[in-house]
Amino acid sequence: MSAMKNLSQGLSDHYFESVNRRFYETHNEIDKPIGHGAFGIVWAVTDPRTNVRVALKKMPHVFQNLVTAKRVFRELRMLCSFRHENVLAARDVLLPCSVEAFDELYVLTPLMQSDLHKIIVSGQALTAEHAKIFTYQILRGLKYLHAADILHRDLKPGNLLVNGNCLLKICDFGLARAKEHNPNVTMTTEVVTQYYRCPELLMGVDHYGEEVDMWSVGCIILELLTRRIAFQANTLPEQLKLMVNTIGSPTINALSGLDSAKRYVTSMKRSENKILRILQTQSCLEPHDISAVELVDRLLCWNRHERISAKEALRSPFIDEGRVRFHSCMCTCCSSSLAGYRQYCRDTEPVPAQVFSDQFELRLPSLHVAKETMYQFIRSQPCGPQQPLCINPRSPSFRAFLQSTVAQPNEDPVSPTRWE
């Protein structure tokens, strides 16, 4: 294969290779790491076919065991299926040189400028208007995911990418999975970053649905409005105490099915809900704006069966201004006429045509089959026909990228906390 022209400033070798020996022009921006997660590292690079800056996610050690291979394949299929402007989707999947050499996965996605965590901890302005438009987009994207039967299971500010125009995309589907409709199937509780984990997960519930994501949204809204993590604790018991002190003590009925921790929680000193006081004294909201209080209360409730869905949350008056702003000048679903009038689409909060299925995992009995199946999936160009690319392992940029590794966490869930 012939190498492409240099894609990184100051490098004498080439980062990408063309599969059909086509040459590309040099771009003058430097390739650099911009983020990492539990299962991958992300670099900002230039797509040599378009000279557009994109994000390149590297997923190493894909085939270290069958559990990891299935998880990565699940994430890949999700990324290639998404068609929503508030959900990060794959633009392309780089073709491995061969099925024998296939050990790492490289996915191109749109490049976003920052994430909500960086915005929150920075010194830049973060107003109630910002919070409303961000909340609207989170709920809009989450409605799409949940309608596709996808549970994100790791919503937090760091997994919400944003651009300078306030466009937001939900990202990082490394822990995502299809909704489990069989109530007898046990699900892992080791999901969701601890600060954004709902109480039933802290207490060891082994079957759950969209409500775990909705609790995380409530935590994120509070953090957007106060610039403080709502439930920041070092241990799970301390976190439950924070929850009791913030949203009030639960009723016995609210803890139904959570017998392992019921005695621990009910033994705490009784507390009242303080959401109203927090938002009136510590947030960027106007004192008379109680719509946020009503929304957060319905998201951060002990009884998971009473927690509202994304579709219901989108009816909240709190995000009305965000909805108008988004569809007035930001969305791609609406358009402007030549006369300057905004033409709004009939369905401003679309859902996918079909749900995501994880049945393909049943047809992956071994690592060999998983590798061959994933390789053929990538060869089929799941993101649409385009000039294929693959990584050039001789490039100095690649050598630096290769060293950007992440620790692989134990795939097996740890033992739940003993509350009694």
Q: The domain that contains 29 carries what CATH number?
A: 3.30.200.20
Q: Yes or no: say if 107 and 76 are a contact pair by the CB < 8 Å rule.
A: yes
Say if residue 311 is in the same domain as residue 389. no
Say if residue 98 is in the same domain as residue 131. no
Residues contributing to the annotated binding site for ATP: 57
Count: domains in the chain: 2
* Parent domain of 81: 16-111+357-402
Average pLDDT over residues 124-131: 91
User: pLDDT tens digits, residue range 192-216?
Assistant: 888 999 999 988 888 999 999 999 9
Residues with a known catalytic role: 154
CATH number, domain at 158? 1.10.510.10
Q: Yes or no: say if 131 and 284 are a contact pair by the CB < 8 Å rule.
A: yes
Say if residue 57 is in the same domain as residue 144. no
In a domain? residue 177: yes
Say if residue 254 is in the same domain as residue 337. yes
d(CA 240, CA 261): 10
In a domain? residue 407: no
Say if residue 80 is in the same domain as residue 137. no
Min mean pLDDT across 13-17, 229-233, 378-382, 387-391 is at 13-17
Q: Who has greater pLDDT, 308 or 15?
A: 308
Say if residue 166 is in the same domain as residue 104. no
In a domain? residue 87: yes
Tokens coding 8: 């990184």
Q: pTM above 0.85?
A: yes
Say if residue 292 is in the same domain as residue 208. yes
Q: What is the sign of the dihedral through the CA atoms of 335, 341, 345 and 349?
A: positive
Say if residue 90 is in the same domain as residue 218. no
- What pLDDT, on a 0 to 100 scale, did the predictor assign at position 101? 85
Say if residue 28 is in the same domain as residue 62. yes
Say if residue 246 is in the same domain as residue 176. yes
**Among the listed residues 40, 90, 32, the one whose alpha carbon sits nearest the alpha carbon of residue 386:** 90
Residues contributing to the annotated binding site: 57
d(CA 403, CA 411): 22
d(CA 346, CA 367): 46
Check whether 15 has a pLDDT greater than 60: no
